[in-house]
A and B are shown apart, each in its own frame.
Chain A
Amino acid sequence: MKMQDSRIIAAPRDSVFEAILKPEMLKICIPGAEEVTGSAAQGFEALVVQKVGPVKAKFRGTVKVEDVVPGTALRLVGEGKGGAAGFARGAATVTLADHPEGTELTYEVDAKIGGKLAQLGSRIIDGFARKMADQFFERFKKALEIETTFDGSTG
């Protein structure tokens, strides 16, 4: 299941890049994240509860940061085991570019959901993966824009 989208974030590029690697930011942005620990270097541990329609799955997994090009690009690779519900794997390739209103963040997500969750028919699963990706970057945009306007500086 592949999708791509982009967001204009009213914040300078390097502060956007730094923000994306902070555990607290991941906790705010990953929909349903209850705990996020660790660091960009060693990778993050996350407990995520995701609810779509009849499904309320608890995923325990890791988020690794790869292919880092400081300031301009990186890849977030997440893998969560939902116990009997199955598993979720996703990779988000994020690229940043300067933009008159701040930074243009484009992301390409390749999500794979498996086990029992996948068996529930595409009606729910496509929505499930797309919702997690869209919400992640929407919350990231909001969190970053508040942070920047709040202290006025480049964070």
Chain B
Amino acid sequence: MLLNFLILMKHELAVLAIIFILMFLKLGKDRSNVTVLNMVNVLLVINFAVGFFWNREGMMFNEMFRNNPLMVLEKNILNLGVLIISLQSYAWLRTHKHVPEFYMLLLSTLAGMFFMISGGNLLMFYLGLELSTIPLAAVANFDLAKRQSSEAAMKLIISSAFSSGLLLFGISLLYGTTGTLIYTELPGVLNGGSLQVFAFVLILAGFAFKISVVPFHLWTADVYEGAPVAVTSFLSVISKGAVLFVFISVLYTVFKPLAEAWYNMLFILSVLTIIIGNLFALRQDNFKRFLAFSSIAQVGFILIGITGSSQSGSGSVVYFVLIYVFSNLAAFGVVSLVSAVTGREGIKDYKGFYKTNPVLSWILTIALFSLAGVPPTAGFFGKFFLLMAGAEKGNWILITVAALNMVISFYYYLRVVKAIFMDDNTNPIQTVSMPLYPRLALYLCVAGILVVGLYSGIYEHIYSLSLKF
């Protein structure tokens, strides 16, 4: 029993263990940031490594907690992302006053996501969601001196509370109409009645809010811009990814009876999301804000993938999230490094960046190309598979719109590349020296971008896992 418990909840327990270590660290005599950071990063590496061993399928607490290979994979992806982010935010945290707290909060959100992914029950889902949101709001405020930071935190907490209010209303209606909260029981009792559809829409909105689907996306850009870069990247990659994982499984299993309805909803939402995201990304100057909108557009593509049939849909989405972790974090890594050293975050500031920082420029360029979906970067494969998955339903309007929107997205990614390579600048960003951790992280990302796509084994592995939820 106990062993089973330990193995099944390995990921969660590992994260919690780190949290408690940090807590005692904090209560004990205060150490220098660097030692704390070294320690934390080592722990995270261990945590990430542990994720690959002794995995087992199973359920506990009458389906409140499930685990299966796909979930393990998803958790590993999230672990990886957190590791990379932590390595990248080294430059920023070195001088920060509350390093252990930062990690405690961040990791508790991670734990929340794990519970959310593993949860087999709307209650667990809700708890996980909150656990992965509320601490983030706090962390978003960690640039205590900056007014933008606190504004971002305020926007995040209020709008997320609002969305969870709606979500809860939906859940309550669902509960009222079906009498159960357990995933495995729900499909049997869902009958697609209008009240249930309403409930579903409310729940969908809760998801859509977290993965910032238009029109539930409006908080995204502001929060991304205001929050510290580490938090922004965490929001844009980790929490989005986690919710996506849950979203797919919930849609494909729990709401199967409503499939026809949610397919059309996602159709509308994805088109809206791609277009609006692109249109806004067109005219951004702040790099984080720009990435925010670009990530919204990316979500639109992911939604298209979700509309596909279960296996290729979920496979392509998980695959894309993995790629997205690498590409987006590569971009954010450069941005966070630069903003930590120089405090400049405008795309204009990046004019002539290549003259001073060739390596960083290439990394950023590769990342942007991967986001834009240019071969041979992994992003190309990710987008291709997403669209192929979406095309399985034969909805060519959707595919054509998406394909043409890739052109718009191209424009703004290339705009940045243009700024980096072609424009000349009177005072370009000075040469930024890369500390060890960020360098590691960035190289890891680039390697990922190049390998994940070209090496087909990874996709096939994910695909093979993504039959069962």
Asked if A pairs with B, the answer is no
A residues with a Cβ closer than 8 A to B are none
B residues with a Cβ closer than 8 A to A are none
